[in-house]
Structures are given as C-alpha cells and as structure tokens.
Amino acid sequence: MFNRHIMSHFLICAGALFLFFVFSLNESVVANASEKYEVISQTLNLRSEPSGTSDIVGQLKKGDQLVSFNEQFGWIQTYYQGEVAWVASYYLAPVQGSLDLNDNTHKDVVTIQRENSIIRSAPSINSQVIGSANIGNEFQVLHKENDWLQIRVNDAETGWIASWLTEKPASQEPNRTQTGHSNNLNGYTIVIDPGHGGRDPGAIGFKHIFEKTIVLQTANKVVAELEQRGAHVVATRNSDVTVTLDERVAIANKQQSDAVISIHYDSSLEPAANGFTTYYYSTPSLPLAESIHASNRSGLPLHDRGIKQVPFKVIRESMAPAILLELGFVSNQHDAQIIVTEQYQDQVAKSIADGIADYIN
C-alpha cells in the first residue's frame, strides 16, 4: 500500500509537470510570429513538417533570411516557393529590427488599384484564396517577398497580395479613342502568349514541324498586326526561349491587360484530326472566346472544331479575359501544309485582331 501511495503521488506530480511543459510550449507558439531570421549554418534544410524525419522541400544557405509565421517545439514555419515549410530554429538567429505584427507604427501602406484583387494565404498564385479587395482599399504592408506583399487584413489576420495590383497604370484613363472604326485599339493592352519554346518543342508533327517554331512565327505576326492598330502588346516570349507556365501567368497578370491570347497548334495520334479550336475557362472570358472564334470561323480555311471550356493553367489563372487558340493540327497532312505558309499566318493575325477589336468595341 505504501508503495502504491508513493507511485500514485509520483504519477500526479509527473502529470502536473507534463501539463506545465505542454502549456509552456504552447505559449511560445506565436511568440516570434512574423519575426525575421537569418540562417547561421552553412546549409539548412526546409522540411514539409516540423520534424527532422519529414520530407526535404528545399534548402537555404548561410546568410539567407526568412520570416517566421509560427513556431512549434523548436521548429519555425515559413513559406518556400508559395508552400508551407519548416526549419529548425537552432540554426537561425533573429535579425535586428524584425517586424512586429502588433506594431502599428509601421506606416508602409498600399492602395488597391484593381477591382476584385485576390488576397492569398501565401506569396504564390497557387496558394489558397482567403479574401478579396477593391479599388481604393488600403492595407498596411508587413513584409515584401519578390512581387508579393504581406498585408494586415484585420487585427487578427494577415494575407498576401500581388504587388502589381497596388501599382497604378501609367495612365489611369488610357486614350481609348473611339473613331467609329472598329479596328482601332488605341490605349488597350493585349498579352500574346506564344506556347512552348526553348527546351519545350511542343508537338512535333508532319514532316518534323515543330509547334514552338510556327507558334512563334504566327505570334510575331499577331503582335505586329495589333500594334499597327494602336494596341500596346506584350509577348511572353519573342524568341526561342523556355518560359514556364508560372512565368507566363505572372507576365500576363502584371500588365493589367484587357485580353490574353495564348497561341498553339494542335496534335493528335489520330491522323485525321484537323481544324482549329478555341478554349476558355472562366465565364468572363467567354465573350472574348466567342468574338475571336467567330472571326476565325469566317477568316480561316480550316475545319471549325468549336469553343470548349478547359482549365488550362495560363487561362485559368489569368486576371484578365483569356483564351487559348489551337490553330490547326501539325499531325494532319492537310492542315500542316497550310499552317506553315506565310499566307495562313497572315490570315490568323488579321482574324485574331479583328476578333479582339469586335470584342472591345
């Protein structure tokens, strides 16, 4: 009985100590939130979970800095390439002058310049949407990371917003002159996205036609036609270089464009497959798709495959109305002999420009 009494007393004390230990750790969870740290080891692994046995998702080197968003049991949570990552705090040192979320003396404030600007959970267009803002809304800036701003959403929450959504265009009221001539595109910004390029050849078709090559040839003609009509045109590539899908989306969104047109040529294992197709994703993009498709239907000498809704990344994540055009099959002998010609590509350029002009005017 005596031993049992001692054991019971010991377990009670041990339990109290354990609870004290747990609560003490929990109190430190948010103690260093949004504090900036510097890596003091030669290399430091970023992991998917706060554990030395979890997956490595990246690596930092000595002198790199990061911002803490949480702390658990000696691990600090940050973001890496838009995703949550964890690092061991033992290998970090606080940076002098780190930002305190509760310090309202920080006066860096930005004003939203675009309606329905998305606020996200992390500095990435792939991260979770947690809210939105409209023109004129102001937010306190807590941290900057590349083209993203961490903002105070309210007293308890923070979020991330793309910096280009807070930048005023060169002219708030572009000179969108209406002369009665439907081809006039003065003051409008159009993004042309020639698919593939560089290490990515796209489809390789009949007689070794490389999609990336004729896509660029066609896109250059489209750019020239739109510029001739007065549009400000931005191309995601103008040479045979590799451009990732994320980079294409970022280029398009940063322009505050009026329309985004991604240009491709199609391919199929079925040699008989032929014709042109128009793809869109969001409902606001459908009028643009219908206008350009109607123009292509009347202007191009290929089979009409219709308008289809698909979640292609470049058009899915565009903030402006966006479509993707497949302008013929490189794998079809009939189409291939036509689409490589300068005459056809000139027709495409005129047809796309006419469609954009009809859509805008």
Ordered structural domains, the chain, with CATH: 28-98 (2.30.30.40), 109-166 (2.30.30.40), 189-360 (3.40.630.40)
pLDDT of residue 126: 61
What is the dihedral angle through the alpha carbons of 25, 28, 29, 35, rounded to the nearest 10 degrees?
A: -150
Characterise 97 by phi-psi region: left (phi > 0), alpha (psi -120 to 50), beta (else): left
pLDDT band at 169 (very low <50, low <70, confident <90, very high): very low
d(CA 356, CA 190): 9
pLDDT of residue 220: 96
User: What does pTM read for this prediction?
Assistant: 0.57
Lowest average pLDDT, out of 156-165, 192-201, 222-231, goes to 156-165
d(CA 344, CA 357): 20
Instruction: For residue 309, report the phi and psi dihedrals to the nearest 5 degrees.
Output: -100, 120
**b/e map of 317-336 (b: 16 or more CB within 10 Å)?**
bbbbbbbbbbbbbbbbebbb
Residue 204 per-residue DSSP state: B
Lowest average pLDDT, out of 63-77, 198-212, 233-247, goes to 63-77
pLDDT band at 5 (very low <50, low <70, confident <90, very high): low
Sequential DSSP letters for 119-183: EESSSSTTSPEEEEE-TT-EEEEEEEETTEEEEE-SSS-EEEEEGGGGSPPS-SS------S-TT
C-alpha 220, offset from chain centre? 24
pLDDT of residue 3: 54
243 with 179: CB under 8 angstroms?
no
d(CA 13, CA 321): 66
152 with 139: CB under 8 angstroms?
yes
Whether the predicted pLDDT of 1 surpasses 70? no
Active-site option among 35, 211, 326, 342: 326
Q: How confident is the model over 118-132, as pLDDT tens digits?
A: 788 888 766 677 877
d(CA 315, CA 306): 17
d(CA 151, CA 144): 9
d(CA 139, CA 257): 24
Task: Name 136's bridge partners.
Answer: none
Whether the predicted pLDDT of 28 surpasses 80? no
pLDDT of residue 42: 86
Active site residue 326: yes
Whether the predicted pLDDT of 31 surpasses 80? no
Residue 203, CA atoms < 13 Å, CB-side half-sphere: 19
Within 10 angstroms of residue 256's Cβ, the number of other Cβ atoms is 18
What is the dihedral angle through the alpha carbons of 311, 146, 237, 112, rounded to the nearest 10 degrees?
A: 70
The single-letter code of the amino acid at 44 is L
pLDDT of residue 332: 95
Whether the predicted pLDDT of 258 surpasses 90? yes
pLDDT of residue 349: 96
pLDDT band at 8 (very low <50, low <70, confident <90, very high): low
**b/e map of 208-236 (b: 16 or more CB within 10 Å)?**
ebbbbbbbbebbbbbbebbeebebbbbbb
Whether the predicted pLDDT of 173 surpasses 50? no
Within 10 angstroms of residue 81's Cβ, the number of other Cβ atoms is 13
Whether the predicted pLDDT of 103 surpasses 90? no
C-alpha 221, offset from chain centre? 27
